[in-house]
Amino acid sequence: MVVSGDSRNFVEAIQGLRGVAALSVLIVHLQDMPLLAGFLPPIWPWLEATVNMGGHGVELFFMISGFLIPASLMRHRSVGKFFLDRALRILPVFVILHLILFTAGPLVGYKFFKGIDLPTYLKLFLVNLAFLPDALGLPIGQQNAWTLSYEWAFYILFALVFVTVVRRKNWLLAAPFILLGLAGIAFRPIAAFFLVGLLFSLVSLRIRVVGWPGLLAGILCGAAMYVSIEYVHPLVGLLPGALLFGMVLAPDSGVAVALSGKFLQFLGKISYSLYLVHPFALFPLQVIGVKLAAHGVNLWLLWAGFAGLGLIAALIAGTVSYELIEVRLRRLLDPALRGLFFGVRREARYVA
């Protein structure tokens, strides 16, 4: 979910891995939203379970963040500029969708707002805006935004460790923050996947398995990671996840070459917008599906239509969001905010 702001740190295979992660989560919702709405036809339990594992694409995002964020902070050499870049990367899309949700949601009867009074509405508005609903045990407005709480926690903890260790050269001061991070992993083990990326950012280890054997090895490691997280324990999934990530970082490995394909590069480019915006794109189709199911339309036909049109709608919405918000709006905000906070103006460089 993270894009580096420097072309020297751009890795095509990581871009492609972002695309896989976003597509993985999208596929889950192409099944989950019809299921919740009541127009998913009876399917084989193993197929339903397999598709549901796609939600673990978020752990791929965490590994990518763990790999890129340390380099980003070291490159900026300024915690303030680092956090401004992170805010410019994450907040525009999130805040616009947040405002759309809390403005249009009550008007269209979105279930999140049913039965709540004005004080509760305001509380949920502020708590969700601050990425705190998961921590406070409150409902999450944007379906996928819960992962941003983990992202921000990682940014803050790593920045604190960076300041104490790199700047002040004092490991003792860093100890409380490291312990806090370990406590967070004990509470939410999936956060350990940040450490996989962090490890590969600190060492030069790369796992080179070329050709079709490399692609097959990458697929098997990815599958083993998903299955381990879902059915064993997230910490067990760290090993296949690390093996996969090591192969992704080896430029000529089979999986890295596959991830460098044009379609996955495109998906990786729009992955953040696609990840956040696709539930909004799918919601109207879900409403239509409920109405058509009530009129007796065949459920298999409805699901096929929802999946096909939903995929197209999500890709279009993700592309529009990327172009208008991530590129054009950020291009407007970047120099103004840098001038406001740091007294400098520069031409922003982005990596698609």
- Is 167:78 a contact under the CB 8 Å cutoff? no
CA separation for the pair 167, 198 (Å, rounded): 19
Q: Residue 111 pLDDT > 70, yes or no?
A: yes
Please tell me the predicted confidence (pLDDT) of residue 174.
Answer: 86
* Any domain includes 62: yes
* Any domain includes 349: no
More confident residue, 128 or 75: 128
Alpha carbon of 234 to those of 55, 244, 313, 343: distances in Å? Answer: 13, 15, 32, 45
pLDDT tens for 318-328 read 999 999 999 99
User: pLDDT above 90 covers what percent of the chain?
Assistant: 78
* Any domain includes 346: no
More confident residue, 342 or 265: 265
Please tell me the predicted confidence (pLDDT) of residue 9.
Answer: 63
Amino acid identity, position 214 = G
More confident residue, 136 or 221: 221
Query: Which tokens in the block code for residue 155?
Result: 């940014």
Q: Residue 186 pLDDT > 80, yes or no?
A: yes
- Is 152:87 a contact under the CB 8 Å cutoff? no
How far from the centroid of its chain's Cα atoms is residue 305's Cα? Answer: 26
- Is 27:303 a contact under the CB 8 Å cutoff? no
**φ/ψ (deg, to 5) at 194:** -60, -35
* Any domain includes 194: yes
Q: Residue 351 pLDDT > 70, yes or no?
A: no
Query: Which tokens in the block code for residue 300?
Result: 């298999």
Q: How many residues does the chain have?
A: 352
Nearest partner of 249 among 34, 5, 3, 10, judged by Cα: 10
Provide the mean pLDDT of the chain. 91
Q: Spell out the SS3 assignment of 271-300.
A: HHHHHHHHHHHHHHHHHHHHHHHHCCCCHH
- Is 13:255 a contact under the CB 8 Å cutoff? yes
Please tell me the predicted confidence (pLDDT) of residue 279.
Answer: 96
Task: Tally the C-alpha atoms within 13 A of residue 31's C-alpha that lie toward its C-beta.
Answer: 18
Nearest partner of 174 among 183, 190, 163, 184, judged by Cα: 163
* Any domain includes 163: yes
**In which band, very low, low, confident or very high, does the pLDDT at 343 lie, cut at 50, 70 and 90?**
confident
Phi-psi sector, 253: left (phi>0), alpha (psi -120 to 50), beta: beta
Query: Which tokens in the block code for residue 158?
Result: 């790593």
**In which band, very low, low, confident or very high, does the pLDDT at 2 lie, cut at 50, 70 and 90?**
very low
**In which band, very low, low, confident or very high, does the pLDDT at 352 lie, cut at 50, 70 and 90?**
very low
Query: What torsion do the CA atoms of 113, 117, 123, 124 make, to the nearest 10 degrees?
Result: -10
From 52-66, 173-187, 276-290, 300-314, the region with the lowest mean pLDDT: 173-187
CA separation for the pair 50, 27 (Å, rounded): 11
Please tell me the predicted confidence (pLDDT) of residue 349.
Answer: 43
Q: Residue 347 pLDDT > 50, yes or no?
A: no
* Any domain includes 121: yes
pLDDT tens for 222-244 read 999 999 999 999 999 999 999 99
Range of the domain at 305: 7-341
**In which band, very low, low, confident or very high, does the pLDDT at 289 lie, cut at 50, 70 and 90?**
very high
Q: Residue 122 pLDDT > 50, yes or no?
A: yes
**In which band, very low, low, confident or very high, does the pLDDT at 76 lie, cut at 50, 70 and 90?**
confident
Name the residue with tokens 């709480």: 149
CA separation for the pair 302, 204 (Å, rounded): 49
Q: Residue 287 pLDDT > 80, yes or no?
A: yes
How large is the average pLDDT for residues 277-298? 96
Q: Residue 132 pLDDT > 50, yes or no?
A: yes
User: pLDDT above 70 covers what percent of the chain?
Assistant: 95
* Any domain includes 2: no
Please tell me the predicted confidence (pLDDT) of residue 337.
Answer: 87
* Any domain includes 200: yes
Please tell me the predicted confidence (pLDDT) of residue 170.
Answer: 80
- Is 177:183 a contact under the CB 8 Å cutoff? no
CA separation for the pair 157, 163 (Å, rounded): 10
Please tell me the predicted confidence (pLDDT) of residue 344.
Answer: 54
Task: Quote the number of domains for the chain.
Answer: 1
CA separation for the pair 169, 163 (Å, rounded): 8
Q: Residue 133 pLDDT > 50, yes or no?
A: yes
Name the residue with tokens 């915006």: 277
Q: Residue 207 pLDDT > 60, yes or no?
A: yes
